[in-house]
């Protein structure tokens, strides 16, 4: 099965990853109009980094309380009004009080680290034991308030972060329907791409990607099964890190696949993404796979930031060219830039082998989704206790929950056997074990430091009736299937929309990938602030 067909037919877990431009004209020159409310975007915190925000708090220019209020005003102005990005599904009523506490600690001389007093948004499939709900965007979980923080939320609180609110997402992390529209949920509605508002924000961490891009927060947390962090990073002009499965705990996160699920940071710069990643690492007794990160994880990934990191590196790229001339040109420019920085580029053919595993990956997800969701719901403070309950709720409330696309993926998942079945074990062996063998062999045989390529093409149009229309340009599945780390960094613009460049390698190579992405970022400076254009004309 070709990967594009797999995505089109299965819309996997936020694996809404690859974008075609069938919804655009065949030109790199587009005419757009800008949303009047955002035409003169002079927000005083625009593009400020964590370091810059910290410097301003140290200087007394701002307090954490003031920063929090400014971001809340920003959300009111352009997320709930004006362009109406619709990226934030719920605000934290305790945000200002948390900020005040961080200010009091700062005044008393206690600083918890680089995230002290920094406003952060998190995806609405991550448990918080506060006044906010955790719903995965589903009305079936409306009113569900977790009794315990997710492990990574505890880490963020300990780091001094201000939990500003939760972000919208593709409902059930985009594992509900084969014809879904990324960024839409029955609870939160449709999130918009801040570059061109009638275009898709990708998903499933749509709200987190958009919120960061539009400067609604300093940084945000998303989750990924296949493309759900790196896809919204790419199409929203931000940096996204999908870490090694095991680096960050998944306990307290609504699951899809125990083999592939992980949380990950979204930020406007590689350094900010590195700061957020380090704050969330740690061994969690409630997620056994994190035990594997002992001795491999670090709490400060900024030590890997090196503007000269590309020098002397051997980097592999798929030899086959893209169908779109502008995407080819963008990648050629990226290659030229990396060569200027001293990298050696090796062209090779390997993606066809990995793409052939797409069907097995989808099967694995369906098996694990049923198992994981049933376990999560069984102890959740929610009215639905099984995936079957969710399906029944959706049918009863079809007008609100399924006004256009339905729940074929969820129904297929519910029908799957247990994880002790022969079929599951075969899918696991083919998808997860098989993808690791392919990637390891490519890296070792060619003596590569990493593989790279365009993360995906530019965003397609929002289409809630017929669903997403993604194309052939993508690079999320190799790292997703294998559980390996993957970082996407802004690479340039095509059709007035952002496109990211991906780097991935073997397990626990986050530091090395961050170094490569940072060197590329510093050499190219490709990030462009969104202008909230209304539409293509």
Q: Could you give the residue numbers annotated as active site?
A: 123, 204, 228
3-class SS string, 241-272? EECCECCECCCCECCCCCCCCEEEEEECCHHH
- β-strand 314-318 against 344-348: which pairing, if any? parallel
272: Cα separation from own chain's centroid: 15
Q: Is the distance from CB of 3 to CB of 355 less than 8 angstroms?
A: yes
* Helix segments in 229-357, DSSP class H: 230-235, 270-280, 325-340, 351-355
Q: Which two tokens stand for residue 180?
A: 């879904």
- Using CA atoms, how far apart are residues 391 and 401, in angstroms rounded to an integer? 10
Q: Is 120 left (phi over 0), alpha (psi -120 to 50) or beta?
A: beta
- Using CA atoms, how far apart are residues 492 and 499, in angstroms rounded to an integer? 6
Other C-beta atoms lying within 10 Å of the C-beta of residue 181: 28
> Of 186, 179, 184, which Cα lies nearest the Cα of 469?
179
Residue 212 burial by Cβ neighbours in a 10 Å radius (0-12, 13-18, 19+): buried
Other C-beta atoms lying within 10 Å of the C-beta of residue 266: 33
Q: Which residue has the tokens 């990607």?
A: 209
- Using CA atoms, how far apart are residues 291 and 301, in angstroms rounded to an integer? 19
If you count DSSP H runs as helices and E runs as strands, how many of each does the chain have, helices first?
A: 19, 15
DSSP 357-414: THHHHHHHHHHHHHHHHHHHHHHSSSS--SHHHHHHHHHHTHHHH-SSS--HHHHHHH
- Using CA atoms, how far apart are residues 387 and 405, in angstroms rounded to an integer? 18
Who contacts 166 (Cβ-Cβ below 8 Å, separation ≥6)? 88, 89, 90, 92, 121, 122, 123, 124, 126, 128, 132, 133, 134, 207
If you compute the radius of gyration of the chain from its CA atoms, what whole number of angstroms results?
21
In degrees, rounded to 5, the angle at the alpha carbon of residue 483 between the alpha carbons of residues 9 and 126 is 80
Q: Which residue has the tokens 């339905």?
A: 406
SS3 state at 32: strand
Q: Which two tokens stand for residue 536?
A: 């293509």
Q: Which two tokens stand for residue 188?
A: 């939160």
């Amino acid at each position: 099965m070709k990967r594009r067909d797999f995505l089109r037919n299965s819309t996997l877990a936020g694996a809404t990853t690859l974008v075609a431009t069938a919804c655009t004209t065949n030109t790199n020159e587009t005419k757009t109009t800008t949303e009047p409310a955002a035409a003169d975007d002079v927000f005083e915190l625009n593009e400020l980094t964590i370091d810059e925000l910290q410097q301003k708090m140290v200087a007394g220019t701002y307090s954490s309380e003031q920063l929090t209020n400014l971001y809340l005003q920003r959300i009111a102005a352009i997320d709930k009004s004006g362009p109406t990005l619709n990226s934030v599904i719920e605000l934290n009523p305790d945000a200002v009080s948390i900020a005040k506490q961080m200010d009091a600690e700062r005044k008393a001389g206690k600083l918890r680290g680089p995230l002290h007093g920094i406003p952060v948004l998190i995806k609405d499939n991550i448990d918080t034991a506060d006044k906010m709900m955790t719903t995965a965007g589903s009305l079936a979980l409306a009113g569900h308030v977790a009794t315990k923080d997710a492990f990574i939320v505890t880490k963020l609180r300990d780091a001094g972060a201000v939990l500003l609110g939760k972000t919208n997402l593709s409902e059930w992390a985009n594992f509900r329907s084969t014809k879904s529209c990324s960024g839409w949920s029955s609870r939160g509605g449709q999130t918009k791409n801040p570059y061109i508002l009638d275009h898709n924000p990708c998903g499933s961490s749509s709200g987190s990607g958009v919120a960061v891009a539009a400067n609604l927060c300093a940084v945000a947390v998303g989750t990924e099964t296949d493309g759900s962090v790196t896809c919204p990073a790419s199409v929203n002009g931000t940096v996204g890190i999908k870490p090694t499965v095991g680096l960050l705990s998944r306990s307290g996160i609504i699951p899809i696949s125990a083999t592939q699920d992980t949380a990950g940071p979204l930020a406007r710069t590689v350094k900010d993404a590195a700061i957020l990643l380090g704050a969330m690492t740690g061994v969690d007794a409630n997620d056994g796979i994190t035990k594997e990160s002992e001795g491999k994880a670090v709490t400060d990934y900024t030590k890997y930031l090196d503007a000269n990191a590309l020098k002397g590196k051997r980097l592999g790229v798929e030899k086959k060219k893209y169908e779109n001339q502008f995407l080819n040109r963008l990648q050629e420019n990226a290659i030229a830039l990396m060569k200027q920085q001293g990298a050696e580029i090796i062209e090779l053919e390997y993606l066809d082998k990995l793409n052939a595993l797409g069907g097995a990956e989808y099967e694995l997800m369906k098996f694990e989704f049923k198992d994981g969701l049933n376990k999560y719901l069984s102890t959740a403070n929610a009215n639905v206790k099984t995936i079957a309950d969710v399906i029944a709720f959706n049918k009863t409330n079809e007008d609100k929950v399924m006004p256009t696309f339905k729940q074929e993926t969820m129904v297929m998942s519910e029908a799957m056997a247990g994880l002790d079945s022969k079929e599951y074990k075969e899918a696991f062996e083919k998808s997860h074990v098989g993808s690791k063998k392919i990637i390891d062999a490519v890296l070792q045989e060619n003596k590569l430091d990493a593989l790279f390529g365009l993360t995906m093409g530019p965003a397609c149009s929002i289409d809630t009736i017929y669903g997403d229309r993604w194309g052939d340009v993508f690079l999320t599945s190799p790292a997703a299937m294998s559980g390996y780390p993957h970082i996407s960094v802004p690479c340039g613009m095509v059709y007035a929309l952002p496109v990211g460049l991906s780097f991935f390698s073997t397990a626990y190579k986050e530091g090395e990938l961050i170094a490569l992405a940072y060197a590329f970022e510093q050499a190219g400076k490709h990030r462009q602030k969104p202008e909230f254009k209304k539409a293509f004309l």
